[in-house]
Amino acid sequence: MITVERLSKRYGRHTAVEDVSFHCEPGTVTGFLGPNGAGKSTTMRMICGFTPPSAGTATVNNVDYRQLPNPGRQVGLLLDAGAQHPGRTGRETLTLSAKIMGVPRRRVDECLDQVGLNAVAAGRRVRAYSLGMRQRLGLAQALLGDPRVLILDEPANGLDPEGIYWMRGLLRDFADRGGTVLLSSHLLREVEAVADRLVVIGAGRVVAQGSRDELLAGT
Ligand code: ADP
Ligand code: ADP
């Protein structure tokens, strides 16, 4: 579960996020939709404590993200696809993460399999990956600790239509097994088929939120 209450972020005189509130419940996918620069990444980074809010609070499973014991086992993050070290292979990237998180080594192959990176791809260095492959690797990293919550910033960027279809199935299954998903995108078509609820943000403010059916009925 994710609870965001009246989060704001100002950079000097510029307001990136203003008074944003929403909840993400277990068993649901929440689509966080808005144009580039609307404040999605800033909000997600505040939820995870990477960006300090100017005002407001956010909790994950009822506590401040930074106070979660072993956060990687509870929350899978994909905030910056391509932030993986370019000189490591996909498998090395996951093996190192698994070691840091204290998850069993077998999870590396399970997660590579789950995101559709085969042995050849997993053996290549990240610098040779396409954005879509880096998104898959980032998702594998997010899934490694078998978390109950996923926070994914624009995970569909760089995926081809088949990849988007595949990810939709993965996220739907994750939520149907009781997981909580917060998924951002600047494209309605990337979230409408999978999200149960939508939070629409524009210029830092929530402009609409509700069930997908409710919101799309008005479009
Ligand atoms: P989105 O993820 O929806 O594309 P962002 O959260 O990245 O939007 O950005 C929201 C606004 O905040 C933009 O106007 C952006 O330029 C600004 N912003 C984001 N990060 C910073 C920063 N570190 N310093 C100054 N402005 C920032
Ligand atoms: P090592 O595994 O050798 O400790 P480091 O993490 O110190 O590697 O990084 C080695 C070099 O790679 C540094 O110059 C760092 O800035 C650069 N680097 C690390 N991650 C990235 C990235 N995602 N994109 C580009 N350069 C990176």
Q: Is 92 exposed, middle or buried (0-12, 13-18, 19+ CB in 10 A)?
A: middle
Which of 11, 20, 48 has most ligand 1 atoms within 8 Å of its beta carbon, as the pocket-test mutant?
11
CA dist 127 → 68, 111, 118 (Å): 32, 20, 17
Confidence of residue 80 (pLDDT cuts 50, 70, 90): confident
Residue 218 or 71, more confident: 71
Q: What is the dihedral of CA 86, 90, 93, 99, to 10 degrees?
A: -170
- Protein residue whose Cα sits closest to atom 18 of ligand 2: 85
Q: Please state the ipTM of this predicted complex.
A: 0.71
More confident residue, 83 or 204: 204
Contact 203, 20 (CB under 8 A): no
Per residue in 160-213, pLDDT (tens digit) is: 999 999 999 999 999 999 999 999 999 998 899 899 999 999 999 999 999 999
Token readout for 83 is 């932030």
| pLDDT, mean over the chain | 94
Above pLDDT 90, what percent of the chain?
89
Instruction: Report whether residue 8 contacts ligand 1, using a CB cutoff of 6 Å.
Output: no
Q: Which of 85, 88, 126, 131 for mutating ligand 2's site (highest number of atoms within 8 Å of CB)?
A: 85
Q: Taking residues 3-23, what's their average pLDDT?
A: 97
**Ligand 2 centre distance from Cα of residue 85 (Å):** 6
